[in-house]
Amino acid sequence: MSTSGRPMPPLVADERTSLEGWLDFYRATLAQKCEELPEGQLREASAAPSTMTLLGLVQHAAAVERNWFRRVLAQEDVPPLFAPADGDGGGGRGHDGGFELAEDATYGGAVAVWQAEVRRGRENCAARGLDDTSPFMGGEVTLRWIYLHMIGEYARHCGHADLIRERIDGRTGV
């Protein structure tokens, strides 16, 4: 079942299937917000003083996927995807970065990196149960918590993408 080309989360399912379904729904929603726009518009900032762009949101999604499903969950020692713009360790808006755009950044490149991180994240989750834990901030974090956090992260940024897209060409909904 789908809604506007997005995979519809199942209405009746076990917890894991529901969590994965909602995460995939929001991933697809972010991608839809970028559809059919030329590079220049994907780089267009939302509204001053914000510098947030659709391309920056896609890059950030890739960085967040890497952080939570590789660095935290799988404890992989992988570098950040994007160099910090201001020395804060995350490109100006938190530790996951990606919001700032390099001159040579492209949507095609960002989507390829994002899709690769999503694939790797799915692989890292596949062999783990929702109650499996990983070290985090001096304690432990469950895969369930990570899924819930990622759903919230994507939902929040899909709201940003809604506003940016509406400002660019008036398109709403989806």
Angle between helix axes 143-169 and 15-34 (nearest 10 degrees) is: 20
pLDDT bracket for residue 112 (50, 70, 90): very high
Query: What is the average pLDDT across 146-165?
Result: 97
Please tell me the predicted confidence (pLDDT) of residue 97.
Answer: 83
Q: What does the alpha-carbon distance between residue 54 and residue 62 come to, in Å, rounded to a whole number?
A: 13
pLDDT tens for each residue of 58-95: 999 999 999 999 999 999 999 999 865 554 444 344 45
Nearest to 69, CA basis, from 138, 154, 6, 11: 154
Identify the pLDDT of residue 164: 96
